[in-house]
Amino acid sequence: MNEKPNLLTILDVVAGLMILVAAGLVFFYVPVEVMMGSVQKVFYFHVATAWVGMLGFLVAAIAGVVYLRKGNLLWDIAGNGAVEISLIFFLTAIVLGSIWARPIWNTWWTWEPRLTTAAIVELIYAAYLLLRQGVDDPERRARFSAIYAIFGFFSVPLTFISIRMLRTIHPVVIGSAEAASQGGFNMDSPMKLTFFFSLAAFTVFFADLLWHRIRLGQLRAEVDVLRIDSYSKGE
């Protein structure tokens, strides 16, 4: 398992190419949106990164459930990896969203449901990582973080619903006149193509990173075992 699998190398290349193509589509292919101008192009990567941010949450919760049932630490590494990656992607999504919101909503930040939920998810991710840091025994750490990921997964939709019940101005993209006044717009086919391709590209990129992260976790566990063994031989 120390060898890097060929499939992973292939996935690296595919992910890299897809990101490049997606960027190419965004910059050179997709037409500029009439109302908002070129800043709208942020949207393609914004949604894609946010999607990956949420995907990580889902992966962490599923990995948590599987870990609790099977007890294989591999699932703990996967859950942790998904959270670490998604933390970065979600942050990117928030920053991209801000760049878009500044000219369109005339503010960097607003307490809008999706934005607020995004911020809360980031905080849950951060809490998750702090929890892991505070527990030394690997199995206990795995159990606690699995439970926390599952609880977060239940809590976030409820948070979203409750904030949505409070207020909303986020554009619901493909849609109504009301949405248009808040910065929503209709997507024509090049836009749709670019949009879905970006989603796919970032999903593959996520899978690639997660695989790397899992490998890293496994290698680290192996190193730990070797180190401990060398201590006990040295006695």
Partner 1 sequence: MIQVKKLVKRFGPITVLRELDFEVRSGEFVALLGPNGAGKTTLLRILASLSKPTSGLVQVASCRLPEEAVAVRAHLGVVSHQPLLYGDLTAEENLSFYARLYDVERLRIGEVLDLVGLSSRKSDLVRVFSRGMQQRLAIGRSILHNPRILLMDEPHTGLDQEAGEILDSVLREIALAGRTVVMTSHDLVRAAELASRLDILSKGKIKASVATKDLNSADFVTFYRKALQGNGGSA
Partner 2 sequence: MKSYLNAIRAVIWKDLTAEWRTRENLSAMLVFALLVILIFNFALELDIQAQESLSAGVLWATFIFAGTIGLNRSLAVEKDRGCLDGLLLAPVDRSVIYFGKAIGNLIFMLLVEIIVLPVYSFLYQVPVFQPGFLLVVVLGSIGYVAVGTLLATMVIQARTRDILLPILLFPLSLPVIIAAVKASQGFLLMVPLTEISAWLNLLIVYDLIFTAAAFMVFDFVVEE
Binding residues vs partner 1 (CB under 8 A): 73, 137-139, 221, 224-225, 227-228, 232
The one segment of 32-40, 42-50, 145-153, 210-218 that binds partner 2 by CB under 8 A: 145-153
Q: Name the residue with tokens 């949450």.
A: 57
Q: Which does 188 bind (CB under 5 to 8 A by kind): partner 2, partner 1, none?
A: none
* Spatial distance between the Cα atoms of 82 and 57, rounded to a whole number of angstroms: 7
Nearest to 148 by CA among 116, 125, 114: 125
80/92 with CB nearer partner 1: 80
* Spatial distance between the Cα atoms of 170 and 67, rounded to a whole number of angstroms: 36
Chain-centroid distance, C-alpha 165:
25
Q: Which does 20 bind (CB under 5 to 8 A by kind): partner 1, partner 2, none?
A: none
Cβ-Cβ contacts under 8 Å for 208 (sequence gap 6 or more): 8, 11, 12, 14, 15
Taking the complex as a whole, the smallest distance from the CB of residue 101 to partner 2 amounts, in Å, to 22
Asked whether position 118 contacts partner 2 by CB under 8 A, the answer is no
Nearest to 118 by CA among 65, 170, 82: 170
Asked whether position 161 contacts partner 2 by CB under 8 A, the answer is yes
Chain-centroid distance, C-alpha 122:
10
Q: Given candidates 159, 182, 203, 218, which one binds partner 2 under the rule CB under 8 A? A: 159
Taking the complex as a whole, the smallest distance from the CB of residue 55 to partner 2 amounts, in Å, to 19
Q: Which does 166 bind (CB under 5 to 8 A by kind): partner 1, partner 2, none?
A: partner 2
Are 101 and 112 in contact, with CB atoms under 8 Å apart? no
Q: Given candidates 68, 173, 200, 221, which one binds partner 2 under the rule CB under 8 A? A: 68
DSSP annotation of 183 reads T
Q: Which does 57 bind (CB under 5 to 8 A by kind): partner 2, partner 1, none?
A: none
The one segment of 26-34, 75-83, 160-168, 183-191 that binds partner 2 by CB under 8 A: 160-168
Cβ-Cβ contacts under 8 Å for 29 (sequence gap 6 or more): 190, 194
DSSP annotation of 1 reads -
Footprint (CB under 8 A) of partner 2, residues 169-228: none
Task: Please give the structure tokens belonging to residue 68.
Answer: 């609790």
* Spatial distance between the Cα atoms of 38 and 125, rounded to a whole number of angstroms: 32
Q: Which does 17 bind (CB under 5 to 8 A by kind): partner 1, partner 2, none?
A: none
Q: Which residues bind partner 2 (CB under 8 A)?
A: 68, 120, 123-124, 126-127, 130-131, 133-136, 139-140, 143-144, 146-148, 150-152, 154-155, 158-159, 161-163, 165-166
